Amino acid sequence: MSFNPAELQTWRVLAECNPAFDETPREYHAAGLTLDLTTAGYDDETQKKLFALAKERNWFAARDFLMEGGIVNPSENRAALHTALRARSEDVHRSVKDEVKNELIALRKCMNLVQTLGAIDIIHVGMGGSGLAPMFLRSFFQGFIGQKYRLHIVVNADPSTLLKIKQQCDPRKTIVVVASKTFMTDETMLVATHLRTWLGDLNRMFAVTGEPAGAVAFGVPADNVMGYPAWLGGRFSLWGSVVFPVLLAFGNAPFEELLHGARTMDEHFATAPIEKNLPVLFALAHIWQRNFMHCSSHAVLPYADALRHFPVYIQQLEMESNGKASPVATASVNYGGVGTTVQHSFMQWLHQGTEKSYSDFIIVDKLPGEEELAVFLRNSVLAQSSALAHGAPPEFPGGRPSNLIFMEELSSFTLGALLALYEHKVYLEAHIWGINCFDQPGVELGKRLTRKIGEGQTPRSTAKRLARYKS
């Protein structure tokens, strides 16, 4: 019988609590971030009851189990040690210390090799996290760091996109990177096969994979293969060699700062008490908003163009991790966009729609450029958060929660901390709900059915749909 959080005594107590927007300041600080839960929708008494829920679920034991390399992914019998890739070398978990060291050696070797190839363009092929991670980091770093190479990222098997990229590149001055944990992802290998033919010289092809033999059999030189550990999930692959093309394009320094920021948040998560622990506080705020305020969706709203791909990145992290069945509501529909742009689109729905959404506003304290514009962005966030909470009855009902995250500055360090904050938050939510946030059986189902259709094994309704392509 599956675990039911609603049967917990602390859950039942929380179910009797009412939302509150009492304007009591609730600000918490760590790793260059400030988490402001003033408009999260609860008062001090409810917050104490949320702490009691976390304690009844032994949140600290769950945290330690993750950080110490426990089997947190029982369906695949795996640990989730993405934090090891950003730890200090002396702190890397003993079970993966050699693997992490060897991965870094292979990464540096391949980076040095690329310098000898006279490349101008890099084409990176990766689906899911293997594509979203470099795409997101590229969009962030482009805002303040010059590029050494032109970087093209293929995240979909769209032939028109691939054609356009090939038209922009000279195969004699291009390297191709194929990122696939299994080296069997259908769309990845389909695109890679076409690029292999186009490239010609396979010394210009590199791979990031957990199956090096498969990459070599495909034609990638053995010296051009980097690792992809079994304990590193796709939606956490940003911390590993999947971002190889980003390191080539922007250099090591910004990525080292990214790791430093994430490591600082990891250390905070591992040591801070519940009353000051940002990932715990963030997870409990979202659980309150999702399960007790009954918000059906979650908006992620960065007010900085450099974070324009952050909502899509978090969409995968949250929905693929926690979009699992449970007796209680789990991950909600997750969407977002850059403010103030979204104030002219779906924010109308946020204020007056018939369903409630909870929102995360992300604002940078110190943005480069004109101070007047930065002040306007900050004022816009504060206005939106206040309007959602308090409204203007009767037309605007209010009562809609939001959480504010202030980044001290737009830097790799604060981005690393922000990513680690969301990762640990997602894990704690899953623990409280009693689900596994590290597998993705729904994704695997879709892959299996796609292969069956390709083999001609189709239900009658699907066969009729296929007929239009054969007529």
Q: How confident is the model at residue 286 (pLDDT cuts 50, 70, 90)?
A: very high
Within-domain flag for 370: yes
Where in the sequence numbering do the catalytic residues fall? 320, 344, 447
Say whether both 324 and 456 belong to one domain.
Answer: no
Helix or strand (DSSP H, E) at 364: strand 357-366
The SS3 of residue 205 is strand
Range of weakest confidence among 115-124, 141-150, 349-358? 141-150
Say whether both 67 and 102 belong to one domain.
Answer: no
Within-domain flag for 233: no
Average pLDDT of every residue of the chain: 95
Local structure of residue 455 (DSSP, 8 states)? T
Cβ(286)–Cβ(435) below 8 Å: no
Q: How many other CB atoms are found less than 10 A from the CB of residue 145?
A: 14
pTM of the model: 0.95
What is the model's pLDDT at position 1?
44
What is the model's pLDDT at position 379?
97
Residue 74 clears pLDDT 80, i.e. is over it? yes
Q: How confident is the model at residue 380 (pLDDT cuts 50, 70, 90)?
A: very high
Q: Mean of the pLDDT values across residues 109-122?
A: 97
Say whether both 322 and 459 belong to one domain.
Answer: no
What is the model's pLDDT at position 278?
99
Within-domain flag for 133: yes
The SS3 of residue 353 is coil
CA distance 2 to 335: 29
Residue 471 clears pLDDT 60, i.e. is over it? no
- Residue 374 vs residues 134, 367, 415: alpha-carbon distances, Å: 27, 6, 18
Supply the range of the domain harboring residue 120.
97-228
Cβ(417)–Cβ(294) below 8 Å: no
**CATH number, domain with residue 183:** 3.40.50.10490
Please tell me the total count of domains within the chain: 3
Say whether both 69 and 125 belong to one domain.
Answer: no
C-alpha distance across the termini of the chain, in Å: 50
Within-domain flag for 146: yes
What is the model's pLDDT at position 57?
98
Within-domain flag for 148: yes
pLDDT (tens digit per residue) in 435-462? 999 998 887 777 777 777 777 777 777 7
Q: With helix as H, strand as E and coil as C, how does 18-35 read?
A: CCCCCCCCCEEEECCEEE
Q: What percent of the chain has pLDDT over 70?
A: 98
Say whether both 19 and 120 belong to one domain.
Answer: no
Q: What percent of the chain has pLDDT over 90?
A: 89
Within-domain flag for 92: no
* Lookup: tokens for 411: 């830097």
pLDDT (tens digit per residue) in 8-42? 999 999 999 999 999 899 999 999 999 999 999 99
Within-domain flag for 246: no
CA distance 337 to 349: 14
What is the model's pLDDT at position 295?
98
* Lookup: tokens for 28: 């918490």
Residue 470 clears pLDDT 70, i.e. is over it? no
Q: Mean of the pLDDT values across residues 418-433?
A: 99
Say whether both 296 and 418 belong to one domain.
Answer: yes
